[in-house]
Amino acid sequence: NAGVTQTPKFQVLKTGQSMTLQCAQDMNHNSMYWYRQDPGMGLRLIYYSASEGTTDKGEVPNGYNVSRLNKREFSLRLESAAPSQTSVYFCASDRNTEAFFGQGTRLTVV
Amino acid sequence: AQSVTQPDIHITVSEGASLELRCNYSYGATPYLFWYVQSPGQGLQLLLKYFSGDTLVQGIKGFEAEFKRSQSSFNLRKPSVHWSDAAEYFCAVGLPQGGNQFYFGTGTSLTVIP
């Protein structure tokens, strides 16, 4: 049972570079989420997708875009990375309002 | 706007002592309530959840939480802490609206001393 799988686990970007964080779940969940975790701020919702083909902004969407490619996959894209986007990113999916989390992607923007 | 408050940033307890982590929420109705634990370098694991019914909820690893509507609180407790309980603990609310949005508190870091 893989659950929620995120790639990569670690990434260092230069300011202005772009990259896509990948997330896949094998639990047939409809809803998927992207969060960022920063010290002293808990987890903040970036974007979520209630079902395949739909996406909505969360608390902190600026600087990010998402794609719900199919039911399994939900990617997060940084078009022009900024140092303020240095964070740990978590993908999650949910069943009956219980969220399941990936292991996280630690992103550093220099 | 909905919010989740964990007033204790860091707590230190001795192994074998009891533990209570506080959580308060602000929301117009009773949301779904959760406690998650995060070990270093790991994702979040669900400890327990409250949707409705009995206000005392039992979870994994010997944890329990009590929902108190009058205080808008959902405090996490454990009668006897083990060294392996050292981790970060997050309280969260789930809002069942178009995608089940989850909002998290800022977390409480637990240190267990022998």
Residue contact B9–A104, C-beta within 8 A? no
Of A42, A43, A97, the CB nearest to B94: A97
Once rounded to an integer, what is the mean pLDDT over residues A39-65?
A: 91
Residue B97: per-residue pLDDT: 62
CA neighbor of B102 nearest in space, from A100, A78, A77, A26 = A100
Q: Could you say which DSSP state residue A73 is in? A: B
What tokens does B29 get?
A: 């109705």
Residue contact A40–B101, C-beta within 8 A? no
Per-residue pLDDT band for A32 (boundaries 50, 70, 90) equals: very high
Once rounded to an integer, what is the mean pLDDT over residues A2-25?
A: 95
Residue A86: per-residue pLDDT: 97
Q: How many contacts, defined by CB atoms under 8 Å, are there between A and B? A: 64
For B7, name the nearest residue in chain A, comparing CA atoms only: A40
* Sheet containing A19-25, strands listed edge to edge, beginning at the edge strand earlier in sequence: A4-7, A19-25, A74-78, A64-68
Q: How far apart (Å, rounded) are the C-alpha atoms in residues B114 and B107?
A: 23
Once rounded to an integer, what is the mean pLDDT over residues A9-18?
A: 96
Residue contact A42–B96, C-beta within 8 A? no
